Structure 1
């Protein structure tokens, strides 16, 4: 109970819960479109943007670093599109090249500035690799909340268009929906949430809060709105429990604890959900007996 009433815990929990709930909703669109791995590549690509933003400004300010992360994330996405559309490189190969290349660049730049006396105050850079939500400030929570609210407002405004586009892009074009605009909106929302979550979850693990809640939602329902609701709740619950575990147990980083909580939720859903293994076997057994 002492932890639950702690000011520092409440600040960190609020930031991670808001982020994970918004990421669960937006990430569901990418998963349903079969583009979840693009988020992984973009997530890794944002790390060199963080380092470059610090190198150019010399300031370890979250809002400035997020601008750098978003810029490199957009460049990575455009590069993936260019490689797949203008060459014979497959999407899987393009994702692997961009993911490893950009993240390798980020690590190289990080090693350079940490060994260079011209750059001071580089200790916080490591937090953007695996995340360290324990160092989230009230200003970071405000920024995460702002980005999450902007993403959700955009999602709600274009909800019907996004829903039609996700399930039938051909029909979406037929009725006059601007598919390119919807694609850009989904990209913007995804990159914004990835950038906002770097400090708390890290570039390596950030994609999990976009994918895992969506997978949980899809195991519990076939209805789009229900999938979104379950994904948001699963993300928020895992973020809260992961933050609590990392606060209660010394030496466990918040980002990995959140991802671990999400993974446990995925396993439980795979077993117990309506579309899970246990109920599926039970229905098959009942069907066999009836025949």
Structure 2
């Protein structure tokens, strides 16, 4: 155990995933409260073809190029969701399902094409972007996550007061001059950015869980927005560190699934023992019945 915790590779990987977990937990809380968490799911799946297309264009698995490709396709996917919901009778959940399956199917088709094409070399690592494999993260990957997460958190802190009003009272926020469209776009832009840089660590399929589960944990333990944000950030960090350790210590265990399993366990424990958990509710009902 000590050897793993002190190894350079583990420290680099854990630093990247923990930072990503903190930022994703905090930013994802806003999306969950606003009921937009499934948009992140659709966008997360839609970023995968962007990774493959970027690889096809640049010919290398350079992290920044692949992240930019993922970011671009995430924006395109969100644009399609908006167009479908605003200019057709298809509901939001239908549009999300359509975009998610179509874009991810495109990514898998492109993946099959490049893997069977002798003109493209070095495709082995692309499959890691589906489920995530942080064990192969480089220092440059951690720097990219660090920069994206710090910028995202700085933007969140700067606009914290406006965001808080927008989240809980959009009518009042509009009346005092806060642009709800700008707030919504800002959160979605930050979310797409975190998804793009976190694909290598967690994967396109599982990245949305890192945005949703910490927020659920935070809401189960507290009603205060600031406390929910803090708990969500801590939950994201703890799950990222523990999942990375399990992935490093185990054999052939992908980092993304390991992190999500730890998060799911934390959600289950919170559902049972948290302030608003099932056991506490049953105890309060029992006491109320006695009186």
The reply to whether TM is greater than 0.5 is yes
| TM superposition score normalised by structure 1 | 0.99
Q: Indicate the residue corresponding to 1:259 in structure 2.
A: 260
TM-superposed deviation, 1:59: 1.5
* Most deviating of 242-251 and 94-103: 242-251
How many angstroms apart in 2 are the aligned matches of 1:32 and 1:137? Answer: 34
TM-superposed deviation, 1:81: 0.8
Gaps of 5+ in 1: none
TM-superposed deviation, 1:74: 0.5
Deviation per residue, 1:135-182 (Å, 9 max, x gap): 001111111000000100110111011111111111110111011111
| TM superposition score normalised by structure 2 | 0.99
How many angstroms apart in 1 are the aligned matches of 2:288 and 2:203? Answer: 46
SS at match of 1:89: coil
1:126 aligns with 2:127: yes
Q: Indicate the residue corresponding to 1:99 in structure 2.
A: 100
TM-superposed deviation, 1:39: 0.2
How many angstroms apart in 2 are the aligned matches of 1:85 and 1:224? Answer: 31
How many angstroms apart in 2 are the aligned matches of 1:79 and 1:163? Answer: 28
TM-superposed deviation, 1:265: 0.3
Deviation per residue, 1:1-44 (Å, 9 max, x gap): 11111111111000000001100000000000001000000000
Aligned residue-pair number: 290
How many angstroms apart in 1 are the aligned matches of 2:79 and 2:290? Answer: 54
Gaps of 5+ in 2: none
Q: Indicate the residue corresponding to 1:245 in structure 2.
A: 246
Q: Indicate the residue corresponding to 1:90 in structure 2.
A: 91
| Aligned ranges 1:1-291 → 2 under 5 Å | 1-290=2-291
Deviation per residue, 1:229-277 (Å, 9 max, x gap): 0000000000000111111111211111000000000000000000000
SS at match of 1:203: coil
TM-superposed deviation, 1:62: 0.6
How many angstroms apart in 2 are the aligned matches of 1:102 and 1:149? Answer: 29
CA RMSD across the alignment: 0.6
SS at match of 1:199: helix
